[in-house]
Chains A and B, each alone.
Chain A
Amino acid sequence: MPQRIVIDPVTRIEGHAKISIYLDEEGNVADAEFHVVEFRGFEKFCEGRPFHEMPGITARVCGICPVSHVLASARAGDAIMAVNIPPAADKLRRLMNLGQIVQSHALSFFHLSAPDFLLGWDAPPAQRNVFGLIAANPDLARAGIRLRQFGQEIIERLGGKKIHPAWAVPGGVRSPLTPENRDAIRARLPEAFTTIQHALELWKKTMSRHQREIQIFGNFPSLFLGMVTPDGGWEHHGGKLRITDSSGSVIADQLDPQRYYEFIGESVQTSSYLKSPFYLPLGLPDGMYRVGPLARLNVAEHMGVPRADAELKQFKKLGRGAVTSSFLYHYARLIEILACLEFIEQLLDDRDLLGDDLRADAGINALRGVGASEAPRGTLFHDYTVDRNGILKRVNLIIATGQNNLAMNRTVAQIARHYIRNGSTEIPEPLLNRVEHGIRCFDPCLSCSTHAAGQMPLRVRLIGPDGTILREVTRD
């Protein structure tokens, strides 16, 4: 007999995505803040550990992007050992990162975001989710799951089926790719290409219906930061950094991620455990920058693979200079998935990929090492300082979601200004839906950036000029 049970919505570690919207004297929106209230202490936790353990430890920061941490951590270890890793190891790391971007973007697009713009912004939240998407378009939902599985499968075939693949290590990687695993990955590529092609077609069909969202979902000038190849192409691992402004002008190029502290400052807000990095030469607020798919496509002159290159040309037509609407993160994600699939296809034909010279070995040759890699949500930095025995004395992690923190605040404020005017103290349902999605455009990984785990209910507060809470709404 069916038994009715009540499951406490917060059975695990709780974190809240809390949003405060501040009104001015006239009752218009003055500002907004996206708070993250979970304690952040991972950097301290790592002190005293041997640096070579860090890929395995930092992989456990996050359940969605462990690979990004493994790769950035391994690169920081490479720098401490001052080694150039073997070509096979570099290419295998790249392959794993491509799989990671595919799986993470697939989750973001198909399961978290597509229900909003395919089912309608004002559909009830109970329907505006993946189950509603299944009801409306089961083939798309199933294909989205399989695309994510494909990315995961690449990771598993390289790193094994452990929860967190500490497979990349300082100096290289632990194990090679077998011909069988290479062939198995290759066999799934056609289906993945078909899925992303359909998703791109669907996106283009529906984009015209969302012109208002394109205008108000975080559409503002900012800087953009991302990795590029030496000739300015799209890069995801091992590249240098480029910063462009909203006119599309390059304001800094071929910056060495090892010296990030010379051009990135880190501010701290009392209201959030997220750090808010900024471009140091411009200070705040002008130094606010965005990272992730939108930024990477803005800083890149080309993708380096033909099909994604054609998409990039279309994408760039959506902006004057840079593409500034955060809503178009979704489109950028799809283009990046396509690029990843093309790069995976290329890599699988590379003879170096099956090589068995996988690790460079060395002692401690530098007391500070920085590793950077493009995580799905943006550039990720791991900065380690060690003693002569390789024991960590200081750890600094700059996470993609943190780098988008200021832009997320501004996105929320922009959306709120559209819906709250002239002294209204209501938090209308359309506002709630759109604020939720405005943040989702950035696909923030709050477990990652705050090192918490668990569910993330949304709580929105409307605060008057005297600090009084005028209204509060929670959506679990």
Chain B
Amino acid sequence: MTRASNRACSSPRAATRNKSGPSNRSDRATHPALLVIGYGNTLRGDDAAGPRVAEALEALRLPGVQVLACHQLTPELAEPIAQADRVVFVDAAVAPPRKVRLRRLTPRTTAQPMSHATDPRALLTLARELFGRVPRAWWLTIPAVRFDFGESLSATTRRGIALALKRIQRLAADFLPGRPAVGNHSRSPGQTDGITKRRLRGEHPQGCPRGGL
């Protein structure tokens, strides 16, 4: 059963935190409790899953959460990763199983001889080797089935994005002291929070691209 809540954005306490001034905002940006990096190509169908999650999450403005949306992972991300307490990489996945998966990641050196892009484990290693710190990290993968040119997503990936958002919200709630667990707000199976519903209907907050979730 999937649980979700819209509490993260709408709670008065969260709003107060957000209003607590530039220093709070700055701390959040430079030393976030949770850094979420969504990556993929937004013109290649379901490959956009990661950036779409990042954009939706950014609109929620969760306190303590910094969000980055990238086309692909590149070495300079090592620095913000090293500054975060925890990091979640969000990506589309073609490999089975066809479900949203959240897995722990540990640093590992990987060599991709012909690619400009790197992978999450390599970035963790870069963060450790170059900036002396590696946060706890997870890899959140969303099933993807269609990679044609275009901005529309398959139903599988749309569902996956909604689930992924909930997983991240739960993680964020768990990591921020004093915040009630998001999962305490029970919902019936399939029920989504308001924001997710709006997104599934194609209504987007300001800043989201055309043809969003």
Contact = CB atoms under 8 A, between A and B. Distances in A.
Interface string B103-124: 1111001011111110101100
Contacts of A207: none
Given A63-B70, A148-B76, A45 B47 contact: no
B91 A5 contact: no
A445 B72 CA distance: 13
A15 to B, nearest CB: 9
A129 B76 CA distance: 16
Contacts of B111: 125-126, 128-129, 131
Interface centre among B42, B114, B119, B149 (most CB of A within 10 A): B114
B123 to A, nearest CB: 11
B133 to A, nearest CB: 14
A138 interface: yes
B24 interface: no
A142 B130 CA distance: 6
Interface in A10-41: 10-14, 17, 41
A175 interface: no
Contact of A2 (B43, B51, B106): B106
Contacts of A444: 114
Nearest to B139: A7
B61 interface: no
B150 interface: yes
Given A11-B91, A12-B47, A455 B71 contact: no
A301 B148 CA distance: 45
B76 A145 contact: yes
Interface string A430-447: 000000100110001111
Contacts of A145: 75-76, 78-79, 126, 130
A125 B112 CA distance: 9
Interface centre among B92, B121, B150 (most CB of A within 10 A): B92
Nearest to B148: A41
A60 B76 contact: no
B141 interface: yes
B27 interface: no
Contact of A475 (B113, B125, B126): B113
B114 A458 contact: yes
Contact of A131 (B94, B109, B141, B150): B109
Contacts of B44: 13, 452-453
A107 B139 contact: no
B174 interface: no
B36 to A, nearest CB: 14
Contacts of A134: 126, 129-130
A280 interface: no
A62 interface: yes
Contacts of A61: 43
Nearest to B131: A142
B114 A152 contact: no
Contacts of A164: 71
A3 interface: yes
Contacts of A453: 40-41, 44, 47, 71-72, 117
Interface in B66-106: 69-72, 74-76, 78-79, 91-95, 103-106
Contact of B149 (A41, A64, A130, A458): A41
A52 interface: no
Given A42-B149, A63-B74, A145-B76, A112 B94 contact: no
Interface of A: 2-3, 5, 7-8, 10-14, 17, 41-42, 44-45, 57, 60-64, 66, 107, 111-112, 125-126, 128-131, 134-135, 138, 141-142, 145, 148-149, 152, 163-164, 436, 439-440, 444-447, 451-458, 475-476
Interface of B: 40-44, 47, 51, 69-72, 74-76, 78-79, 91-95, 103-106, 109, 111-117, 119, 121-122, 125-126, 129-130, 139, 141, 147, 149-150
Q: Which 10 A-B pairs have the closest CB atoms?
A: A63-B71, A456-B114, A63-B72, A45-B149, A8-B95, A129-B111, A131-B109, A456-B115, A453-B41, A60-B43
Given A62-B71, A152-B76, A440-B113, 6 more contacts: A2-B104, A10-B94, A164-B71, A440-B114, A447-B41, A456-B113
19 contacts: A7-B119, A8-B95, A11-B91, A11-B141, A12-B93, A44-B149, A63-B71, A63-B116, A66-B71, A107-B116, A112-B116, A138-B130, A163-B70, A436-B114, A447-B116, A453-B44, A453-B71, A458-B114, A476-B112
